[in-house]
Structure 1
Amino acid sequence: MQNSKLIIHFALAIFLSVFLFSFNNISDDSDYEKEIKTWHQNRIEGLKKENGWLNLAGLFWLEEGRNSFGGNTENKIVFPKDRSKAFLGDIILSKGEVFVETKADAEVFNENDKVEKLKLFPAEKSIVLKHNSLRWFVIKRGDRYAIRLRDLESPFLKEFHGIETFKIDPKWKLKAKFVPTEGKKIAILDVTGQTSQQDSPGVLAFTIDGKEYKLDALKEGDEFFIIFGDKTNKKETYGAGRFVYAAKPDADGYTYIDFNKAYNPPCAFTPYATCPLPPKQNLLPIEIKAGEKNYGNH
């Protein structure tokens, strides 16, 4: 009888241990899933903001000299005619400097100040001009200069319906060894055909199903920025690859790449972005079924 009680107590102890272990795992997974969903929701809200990617409405490369702009098709830079006065003025490119001169009735503003003449580039901070629902500023790509236009009433923004993702799976949060490559530069090509040499602080090495893979990282603020491609591209995910961030390594040289946070470049949402493409060494020969799936037809 005593032995039977011991057996029962032992069995109950095992059951309780298994139950608590399973409960803790479910709780951990739920917390992780909540983290990823929160991250993705913040990502969606970021796309919708005034400085997000969904409201891009134009990209206009500047020619040396005067570039007239406005809603009329006679301008060199043609803004949406239902959003702009016909002739707003001129954007002037002169030996690496960019200026704007507006018509008297243009109603172009920098913050709350009406603009007549203003140097746009280079400047201490990016100057954003506005007219009705339009916003625009200067960007530089290689040795070329352009006007990037936003429309706060853009159809891309109005038609946005969220981004489908793969099922959240903790297995795609991978421990990675950081291998420094001090002084190394890698060539990054963008969709406009411009190539830039960018500093790469190191390589992140990680293992999937017992096989090691490596990705060259770029430095962005206090994080690593990774442009990568994989075998899901052009099928389930955006054809030109995706982006993901990783934290700086710990004292032992390790960090994590969480592919559940892999996301589409801006070019997936608009034809007016100038996205970088994955360097050939960052094209993984496997499928990364995690993170954001493709969006639209861009």
Structure 2
Amino acid sequence: MTVQDVAADVDAFAQTWREWHSGHEDRLADPHGFLAVTSLHWLHEEPQRFPDAPGAWSTGPDGVRVVLAEGEELIVDGAAVHGEYSFGVIGERASLFPVSGDAVIEVAKRGGHDIVRPRHPENPLRLAYNGTPAYEPDSRWAVTGRYVAFDHPRPTTVGAAVEGLQHVYDAPGRVEFDLAGHSLSLTVFEGHAPGSLLALFTDATSGVSTYAANRSLQIDPPAADGTVWLDFNRAVNLPCAYTDLATCPLPPAENRLQVAVETGEKIPHERR
């Protein structure tokens, strides 16, 4: 391979990363994305009203309920709702997004608690967002690994960005790989896409150049022989890196890597 070929490969790798990261940032800054969250409310049996959402909200054995006053309205699944409405029991880590004017009112369950988390496009955090700093992409940080499935998914309890809150995930296995001269492994959870995996981790850069609490890495579904591709250039911040209104999970203890993973997203401007 010529010097020109190597340079072309480097340029192509960097361009592919920039296109991917641009799409990632667009999703973060969406009018109803996480930067639009204006508050985090924990629901109780006693109805509560909030300044950034219509209705009086409560929860109980039958799930989340809202009572809308005269003149108040929510749009749920395209239909206007007035008066009393029950969202039912919401599953752990599930979210519903009824609409109120130009806002959406996230109704969710996190760590066993029902919450309401309004998202308003005019939130100053979203309007002021100017991108997340990141290391320059480098193919040295993209490596092949091996997925090792556990005999049975392991319930794994991890902490959260909110003090006192815990999350429980079923870990289907771990990924083993070599990186920067070290043999490493990460416990993984189910990813967003079917068959994909998610790794939460910290490393020696955490709290120095990258966000202290966590970063995440999406991993495509393993091949038939367990081979996986880990591109740490695509290690990204979770919402808690930008706002205290997030309930993000922390990595399991075994995912605290001692090596410095000097790639991926850095500490956001909002935290500096």
CA contact (8 A) 1:65 1:94 kept: no
Matched, 1:119 2:86: yes
**Deviation at residue 122 of structure 1 after TM alignment:** 2.9
Q: Whole-Å Cα distance in 1 between the matches of residues 238 and 106 of structure 2?
A: 20
Q: Whole-Å Cα distance in 1 between the matches of residues 179 and 264 of structure 2?
A: 16
Matched, 1:277 2:244: no
The 3 A distance-change label for structure 1 pair 122 and 235 is: same
- The alignment's C-alpha RMSD in Å is 2.1
The 3 A distance-change label for structure 1 pair 114 and 211 is: closer
Q: Whole-Å Cα distance in 2 between the matches of residues 241 and 186 of structure 1?
A: 16
In structure 2, what residue type is equivalent to 1:281? E
In structure 1, what residue type is equivalent to 2:161? V
**Deviation at residue 65 of structure 1 after TM alignment:** 3.0
The 3 A distance-change label for structure 1 pair 24 and 108 is: same
CA contact (8 A) 1:58 1:148 kept: yes
CA contact (8 A) 2:32 2:120 kept: no
Q: Percent identity?
A: 25
Q: Which segments of 5 or more consecutive residues in structure 1 lack a partner in the other structure?
A: 1-19, 70-76
CA contact (8 A) 1:109 1:130 kept: yes
Q: Whole-Å Cα distance in 2 between the matches of residues 126 and 285 of structure 1?
A: 35
Q: Whole-Å Cα distance in 2 between the matches of residues 128 and 209 of structure 1?
A: 42
- Which of 1 and 2 has greater Rg? 1
* Cross-structure match for 2:221: 248
Structure with more relative contact order (C-alpha pairs < 8 Å, separation 6 or more): 2
Moved more, 191-200 or 223-232: 191-200
The 3 A distance-change label for structure 1 pair 258 and 23 is: same
CA contact (8 A) 1:182 1:200 kept: no
Q: Which segments of 5 or more consecutive residues in structure 2 lack a partner in the other structure?
A: none
TM-score (structure 1 length as normaliser): 0.82
Matched, 1:64 2:45: yes
Q: Whole-Å Cα distance in 2 between the matches of residues 27 and 249 of structure 1?
A: 28
* Cross-structure match for 1:187: 157
In structure 1, what residue type is equivalent to 2:223? D
CA contact (8 A) 1:64 1:93 kept: yes
TM-score (structure 2 length as normaliser): 0.89
32, 41, 44: which one aligns with 2:25: 44
Q: Whole-Å Cα distance in 2 between the matches of residues 44 and 50 of structure 1?
A: 12
Q: Whole-Å Cα distance in 2 between the matches of residues 232 and 197 of structure 1?
A: 26
The superposition leaves residues 170-218 of structure 1 with CA deviations (integer Å, 9 ceiling, x where unpaired) of: 0000111212213123222212232233221211111124320111111
* Cross-structure match for 1:206: 177
